[in-house]
Amino acid sequence: MDFLRKKMAESPVTARVAPFFIFVALTSLQGQFGPASTYWVYLAKSVVGLWLIWEMRPLVQEMRWKFSWEAVAVGVIICVVWVGLDDLYPRLSDPGEGWNPHKQFGEDSVAAWVCVLGRIAGSSIVVPPLEEVFYRSFVYRYLVKMPFTAMPLGRYHALSFFVTSILFGLMHPDRWLAGIICGLAYQWLVVRKDRLGDAMLAHGITNLLLGIWVAWKGEWNFW
């Protein structure tokens, strides 16, 4: 742990990249230790993600939640787009049956609801800072200027704007088009506000509403 703290403190790149890749690496372990590990690894990686955010916070000054009505509107609209566009374009991968703890642990069991609430909390609180710092703070600026920290977040660069958003979308191959639109909207917020916090809020609202939709409608394939 001390090694990671030291490396993050020494390098602005490491501070913004390492937490994201650690989180992605943990994601790849879901389901590797039996079917139930799909769920408990998610809960474990969310706890690790919280710790990573805690370690990043003093090193990544732009990682501060900010409220704006534009962020709220974007968060709601992107959730509607994510759900509304489903099945209207070809997928790059099959989402399968999705992430359904009720099927694994029993309908309406305590374990199932712990996993559902953990997923909603993790996707709404943990995922937004990690992803927004990586994509909108690091990748967007790194493609344009070195040292990347010298580039204002509010500077618009067309190529990087679209490349970063496409990259973000392709990281969601089952819903790549919605992901690209999502990336464009969040990046627009960053450029418009010259800060990261609004995109983090919008991202959190999108994931919160999507999680509520999934749990309410039983549309587990969205997870």
Question: What does the DSSP assignment read for 124-148?
Answer: IIIHHHHHHIIIIIIIHHHTT-SSG
User: Is 72 a domain residue?
Assistant: yes
- The per-residue pLDDT for 67 is 96
At 184, list the tokens: 């464009």
Q: Domain range spanning residue 209?
A: 63-222
Q: Return left, alpha or beta for 31; rule: phi > 0 is left, psi -120 to 50 is alpha, else beta.
A: left
**% pLDDT > 90, the chain:** 93
Look at residue 29 and tell me if it is in a domain.
no
Task: Please report whether residue 12 resides in a domain.
Answer: no
Q: Is the pLDDT of residue 144 over 80?
A: yes
pTM beyond 0.85, yes or no: yes
What is the number of structural domains in the chain? 1
Task: Look at 8-12, 91-95, 168-172 and tell me which has the smallest mean pLDDT.
Answer: 91-95
Q: What is the mean pLDDT of the chain?
A: 95
Q: Per the domain annotation, does 163 fall within a domain? A: yes
Report the alpha-carbon distance of residue 32 to residue 172 in Å, rounded: 20
Is 137 within a domain? yes
**What is the structure's pLDDT at 146?**
86
Q: Establish if 181 belongs to a structural domain.
A: yes
Residue 36 lies in a domain: no
- Kindly state whether residue 108 falls inside one of the protein's structural domains: yes
Bridge partners for 32 per DSSP: 34
Query: What is the pLDDT confidence band of residue 131, given thresholds at 50, 70 and 90?
Result: very high
96 pLDDT band (50/70/90 cuts)?
A: confident
